[in-house]
Structure 1
Amino acid sequence: MKISTYHSYDELPLFLNAELVAKVLGVSISSAYELMHEEVFPSVRIGSRFVVPKDKFRQWVERQTGGAR
């Protein structure tokens, strides 16, 4: 498992790419890409790229963990 180098949501950029999603969640980049293509995940398609707004990512994490931080 990869270990995140981020210690708070405030350190993240406004939009996360697959590499950052993988680092923050501690998963492989291929797992991050799979997640970003799921309808329930808050990714936004810009051209051929998928990015995740930081606010929506945080909300998704809180829903997945039952509101725990």
Structure 2
Amino acid sequence: MADPQVLRDVLSDDALLVTPEEAAALLRVGRTTVYALMKAGDLRPVHIGRSCRLPRSELNRYIDSLTSSRSEQTQHLQLGTDQNGARGSVHTLPSGH
């Protein structure tokens, strides 16, 4: 991995594109997780030649999608409905599971 000071300098910049390793540091996840998110289509990289980069705007979009889907799930649980609005029972696991 790159020198920590160099990585810190890159992350403190307002670089438009970051490497998957830099994205992992920004998201506080492992490099493998970033590559898995790209493979699953959750993160959409750009390719310049053979280089793979992630726009910072893409990282923000991904984070926003996580927070919006989380709030939607919370709303459905509070209402006792599924994502299609159908009423149903909400099941919870006993504590300790």
Shorter-chain TM range is 0.5 to 0.7
Determine which structure has the larger strand proportion and give its number.
Answer: 1
Instruction: Check if 1:54 corresponds to 2:60.
Output: no
> When the two structures are superposed, what TM-score results if normalisation uses the length of structure 1?
0.63
CA-atom RMSD in angstroms: 2.4
Change (3 A) 1:54 1:61: same
From 28, 31, 46, give the equivalent of 2:30: 28
Gaps of 5+ in 2: 1-7, 70-97
Aligned AA for 1:44?
V
> When the two structures are superposed, what TM-score results if normalisation uses the length of structure 2?
0.49
Q: Distance in 2 between matches of 1:60 and 1:11?
A: 20
- The one-character-per-residue Cα deviations of 1:20-55 (angstroms, maximum 9, x if unpaired) are 111011111122222223323221122222211112
Q: How many residues align?
A: 59
